[in-house]
Amino acid sequence: MTLPARNLLAEEASPYLQQHSDNPVHWRGWSPGALAEAKDLERPILLSIGYAACHWCHVMAHESFENDAVADVMNRLFVNIKVDREERPDIDQIYMAALHAMGEQGGWPLTMFLTPDGKPFWGGTYFPREARYGRPGFIQVLEAVDKAWREKQQSLAESADGLTAHVEQRLAGACGKAVLGRETLADLGNRIDGMIDRDLGGLRGAPKFPNAPFMQTLWLSWLRDGQTAHRDAVLVSLEKMLAGGIYDHVGGGLSRYSTDAEWLVPHFEKMLYDNAQLIRMCNWAFAATGNDLFRIRIEETVAWLLREMRVEGGAFAASLDADSEGEEGLFYTWSSGEVESSLGADSARFFQYFELAAPHGWEGKPIIRQSEAQQSQGIADYAQLAVLKTKLLAAREKRLRPGRDGKALTDWNGLMIAALAEVGRSFGRRGWIEAAAKAFAHIAAAGKDGRLPHSMLGQKKLFPALSSDYAAMTNAAIALFEATGETAYSDHARQFIGQLDRWHQDAEKTGYYLTASDSGDVPIRIRGDVDEAIPSATGQIVEALVRLSSLTGDPDFWEKAWTTAEHAMGRAAQQAYGNAGVVNACALALEPLKLLVIDSPESSSLVPAANRNPDPRRVDIFVPIGTEANRSLLPGGVLPPTDKPGAWLCSGQVCLPAVTEPGELEKLLRRG
């Protein structure tokens, strides 16, 4: 088949793809029709993968894809396919792994050249239109690839076969199961600890990413083994990034990463997943330290989320762009004059708490950050500081805003729903729990034939869901059950795992694939073991199964969790660091914690003690005094009495004696 000789992206559901719908390039979305066209024309495929908030994606688009001369070459020589990596992480992971296998460093935009049957034979990331940065110009690249394809087609095809086989083995292959042991988490924690920047936080060097899976490894190591150095590495990392320019001191929320080692100059895009993980991590840090820095940053970030990221129906948008008016960071940066005109006589007080920094090589306006002393003073004087922030935010709202990618991704929303439900419990913020519940209801109601979509933009929905969607929404359902006690959330969690089993479980029932069994347009059906900025799909699945097993006491969920964890660790043994999410989830499987609290809803005393002490290893079940229906069992089928307050903390199949006093429970939970 041959598709129309024009750009076909206008009808796509992805805002990123729609951004390219006016390009003179004859773009196609990833589809069976586009792949069939390449085979019919016997042309190689030029595959370009990016996302809406990606700065260098915009640069390459402006330089090359909007240029008629470049587009003419692309249209003449290739079938051109554009992919939103957030819509199709399965496609992105396949071709990013291929680029890594070529010895190239990954990143976006990802530019890959494929045989007509979709096998990769060469690629890179950003290519400038004219030769610079030590990189060839894009037209040179296109013509060189075309020449190689015409003159060396057989050898390139053979190379593509070998590369595809390598990627398939790495991302989809099966390995023997590994014995789950406590030493795996300890070993990974020690190796990550050895890479920590003790002065600046995060991993040594630049660029610096929040790297939530690594931070969670260190936190779990502290909770389980008392490794205070690992706890302190997380706390220092949080404190430093929350003082730097990577954090939005005016409006709240975290940018994706810092280009330097000091957390100062971010790429200013804000991603939903980073902020979901920041909220959870700060909640744990506040519970452990009582440092109001973490409480205030949670409040600011949730305020940003509810103000700027909610879409129709109550779900949350994917991201905010880095650029506005063609300049990166323009919306977020300030000159001294702008601060002074916005604050007037209060500007002197502002500079007591903040500084404007413009490092060498930065071409934009200065970036707001805090020194360590300013951060501490700002928290102590927060009531005064909040007034200044409100004035600056009002002034900033008059600027031209960065673009928002308004699609609601199911897995990213699941992460945020769980985070909101958790902090809503910890801080007694009913409105946060209600916002989480509304987002959950919107996504759950968007399903078709019991199956979730992966992405939604208004009435446009992308089916089928990925395994990460079902896992994240299962964890979200359990978090909402913990926050509300409503059994409907437990029912949802069971249904999501039922769909996961039906469409994603492998034939041997040893684990799950990222893509559904009826996804007909994937060249390789991958497992989803590798972390990105969030834990891998496999890690989230193991966590969901462990938590659902603890919640329900159903041994079938436990058996699935254990089997999946053993085989995932067998595959993870082949990797150095890309499987922290799997290791963390396996640590939960080894020692799951369950807290059952019998308390009076009218004068609850034990429940607040539990809420103040969140623990990622623990599932909390609250039962009103006098309850007869739906009574929860302790491990071993023990039915606790419900005629008076009591709390039982269980690890695996062993439960400690019941405690009845809030102070006693608090002490027990803090000891873990």
Helices (H), 204-312: 212-225, 228-243, 272-289, 292-308
Q: How far apart are CA 334 and CA 318, in angstroms?
A: 26
Q: How far apart are CA 585 and CA 18, in angstroms?
A: 37
Tokens representing 437? 């519940």
CATH classification at residue 580: 1.50.10.20
pLDDT of residue 672: 53
Q: What is the CA radius of gyration of the chain?
A: 25
272 and 383 in one domain? yes
Find out whether 264 and 253 touch, Cβ atoms under 8 Å: no
DSSP state for residue 632 in the 8-state scheme: P
223 and 92 in one domain? no
DSSP state for residue 260 in the 8-state scheme: S
pTM, two decimals, is: 0.96
Largest pairwise CA distance in the chain: 83
Find out whether 271 and 256 touch, Cβ atoms under 8 Å: yes
Domain boundary among 172, 196, 219: 172
Q: How far apart are CA 453 and CA 119, in angstroms?
A: 27
235 and 121 in one domain? no
Give, to the nearest 10 degrees, the angle between helix 487-504 and helix 430-445. Answer: 40
Taking CA atoms, 53 is separated from 57, 242, 271, in Å, by 8, 21, 8
Whether residue 185 lies inside any domain: the answer is no
CATH classification at residue 48: 3.40.30.10
Neighbouring-strand partners of residue 120: 114
27 and 165 in one domain? yes
Whether residue 652 lies inside any domain: the answer is yes
Domain boundary among 384, 403, 422: 403
Whether residue 413 lies inside any domain: the answer is yes
Find out whether 324 and 400 touch, Cβ atoms under 8 Å: yes
Residue of 672, 594, 588, 604 whose CA lies nearest to 640: 594
> Which residues in the chain come in under a pLDDT of 70?
1, 576, 671-672
At residue 208, the 3 state secondary structure works out as strand
382 and 265 in one domain? yes
Quick one: which H or E segment has residue 620? strand 618-624
Number of domains making up the chain = 4
144 and 49 in one domain? yes
528 and 511 in one domain? yes
333 and 291 in one domain? yes
Strands 408-409 and 618-624: unpaired
609 and 559 in one domain? no
Residue of 495, 612, 590, 610 whose CA lies nearest to 543: 590
Whether residue 187 lies inside any domain: the answer is no
66 and 52 in one domain? yes
Strands 618-624 and 646-651: unpaired
Starting at the earlier edge strand, list the strands of the sheet with 408-409.
Answer: 408-409, 455-457, 460-462
Whether residue 183 lies inside any domain: the answer is no
Count of residues for the chain?
Answer: 672
212 and 157 in one domain? no
Whether residue 167 lies inside any domain: the answer is yes
455 and 324 in one domain? no
- For residue 161, count other CB atoms closer than 10 A to its CB: 14
pLDDT of residue 339: 97
Whether residue 269 lies inside any domain: the answer is yes
> Which residues span the domain enclosing 101?
9-172
